[in-house]
Amino acid sequence: MTGADNQQERLDGYIAGYVDGEGSFSVSVQRNRTCRVGFQLVPEFHVSQNGDRAQVVELIRGRLGCGYIKPNSKRDRALVFVVRERRALLDSVIHFFERVPLLSSKRTDFEKFAHIVRRMVLGHHRTLAGFGELLEEALSMNGGGRFRQVQWRELVAFQNPQRLYAGQG
């Protein structure tokens, strides 16, 4: 190890620590009529930061070499760094946090996220069975979001009853 490696290890650790506090790995469910089940799964990695101190999101974008920074909302000055592009999620984001792991239980969400993205890269979400399986996993992330879960399960089942259940088991 050289001094430069040492600095790099510390910087990578810094990014993991910052992301463990302010980052989020999520998979949202969105309507999309062009998809077979009428919905799509949208994996997203994001990290927020107060607009007064944008340095960290810029540093993370620079290190990961992907994604974009945008205002979080019109109401405040917060910025958010976002990666949605699937290949960038896999090659950059997931690769990074497998090498430099999160240390809180947010790591469980990251592992589910990585599993879902890998399955999607292989096209598993395009089969009904695969979509159902990934939907279940997505809904179990980030504390489960109980109300959202019920809502989406019912909506998907209502819109595509035979399709969704035909695809399971």
Amino acid at site 13: G
User: Which H or E run includes 136?
Assistant: helix 128-139
56's CB contacts (< 8 A; 6+ apart) are 18, 47, 49
Question: CA separation (Å) from 48 to 23, 62, 69?
Answer: 7, 15, 9
Binding flag, residue 20, a second copy (CB under 8 A): yes
Q: Which of 36, 63, 84, 106 binds a second copy (CB under 8 A)?
A: 106
Task: Answer for the pair 24, 49: CB distance below 8 angstroms, yes or no.
Answer: no
| Nearest distance, CB of residue 105 and a second copy, angstroms | 4
Binding region for a second copy (CB under 8 A) out of 16-24, 117-125, 130-138, 158-166: 16-24
- 155 sits near a second copy (criterion: CB under 8 A): no
Q: Residue 1, interface with a second copy (CB under 8 A)?
A: yes
Nearest approach in angstroms of CB 73 to a second copy is: 18
DSSP string, 47-72: EEE-GGGTHHHHHHHHHHT--EEEES
User: Can you tell me the distance from the alpha carbon of 55 to that of 61, in angstroms, rounded to the nearest whole number?
Assistant: 10
Using DSSP, state whether 28 is helix, strand or coil.
Answer: strand
What mask of x and - would describe binding to a second copy in positions 108 to 147, judged by CB under 8 A?
-----------------------------------x----
Q: How many residues bind a second copy (CB under 8 A)?
A: 30
With respect to a second copy, which residue has the nearer C-beta, 65 or 144?
Answer: 144
Q: 28-87: which residues touch a second copy (CB under 8 A)?
A: 49, 52-53, 55-56, 59
Which residues lie near a second copy (CB under 8 A)?
1-2, 5-6, 9-22, 49, 52-53, 55-56, 59, 100, 103-106, 143
